Amino acid sequence: MKHFYFSEENSGEEFLVGADTLEEATEQAKGIAADIASGTGEEPELLYWYEMTEEEAEASGLDEY
């Protein structure tokens, strides 16, 4: 499993998605961003940053879905 780093820009929420491919991670991240944005009344603005190593993901302290 790989660790993909995303953010929902309207809220500033950052999170990781564990998946085998970027495509799988992006599909999951879209749903997560929609959930985050639902409380703001705005459309989600999802941004993909990069793939983290296992060590980076552990040290980041970010929630992983």
Per residue of the chain (65 residues), what is the pLDDT tens digit? 999 999 999 999 999 999 999 999 999 999 999 999 987 888 999 999 999 999 999 999 999 99
For residue 46, being part of any structural domain is answered with: yes
Q: Which domain holds residue 35?
A: 23-50
For residue 58, being part of any structural domain is answered with: no
pLDDT (0 to 100) of residue 22: 98
User: What phi, psi does 2 have (nearest 5°)?
Assistant: -105, 165
For residue 41, being part of any structural domain is answered with: yes
What's the token pair of residue 58?
A: 């552990």
Total tally of structural domains belonging to the chain: 1
For residue 3, being part of any structural domain is answered with: no
pLDDT (0 to 100) of residue 55: 97
For residue 9, being part of any structural domain is answered with: no
User: What phi, psi does 43 have (nearest 5°)?
Assistant: -70, 140
For residue 7, being part of any structural domain is answered with: no
For residue 36, being part of any structural domain is answered with: yes
pLDDT (0 to 100) of residue 28: 98
